[in-house]
Structure 1
Amino acid sequence: MKIQMPVDDERIRELRVYDMVEIYGPIFTGRDAVLPKVVKCIEEGTCEKRGIFLRGSAVFHTAVSPAGIGPTSSNKLDIEGSIPALSAAGVRMHIGKGSLKRETVEALKKYNSIFLVTPPSTALLTSTIKKKRVVAFPEEGMEALYEVEVEKFPAIVAVAGGVSIYDERD
């Protein structure tokens, strides 16, 4: 299923766990160092002044290094802890790897956001990047908040509507 960014709420409501998607357009990248800073700018109301427009956006849990991009574990404290605030501020897709806590799954449901996982193949994911730029927090180097323009970025819906692929099955 093709997802054009920014994504609207109706499109998010259509997605179900195990759906395979391809993302087109700008997505943010961020991980441990920068996501708490983005949450702080949400709390202070300064994101838009910094050029961070979150409504309908996606955040890929990665750094942007010369070696490429690849998912980091999304259940790290500073990453998973940012998901509810980012979702409330308009981020509709969080992309990474690993299981999330039940309260994070519920926060995603509350804010009509989803969690996607990607194949852990740096070469494949890096090949989807058409452009990249630092949006904010350049002092974080490769962990700065980047916006990358992607085409055919593959992902699988792992959490949607309060359901997680990591939930135990009977």
Structure 2
Amino acid sequence: MRIYGVTGWKNSGKTHLVERLVTEITGRGFSVSTVKHAHHATEIDHPGRDSFRHREAGAREVLVASPARWALMHELRGAEEPALAELLEKLSPVDLVLIEGYKRESHPKVETHRAATGRPLLAPDNPTVRAVASDSAHPGLALPVLDLDDTGAIADFILGEVGL
């Protein structure tokens, strides 16, 4: 399975770019899945829902199924967060998995950067960053700099990198 990341500082446009890339790349006929890393206890279920009540009661896993979709929630209950490689093994095969976050993992990435965040680029200190998608120029950077709003060009870059 081919994987490619989108990384960057908070509020740099990662989620918006991943959303646009999924639309662009699936529109070209490829199947895409995503993995999103969060640094906090993310709730995907809500108090009062049956599945929430099952988790609160102590269930290790809760699978919710409907005619439209199914979802499996796994509670770590104090165990360590699984490695990215272990999580990727749980996905069904697709042409491309886009990974949001996971700055320190070894897969190739595009860094999103917005000048307004005031944060420095990750790319100079992170060899897994292969290009920067930004709203500003970065003279002297030894990597391709792509327009953050040019989804097609960013998709072309990623698809070329993974051989699709």
TM range (shorter): under 0.3
What is the TM-score normalised by the length of structure 1? 0.24
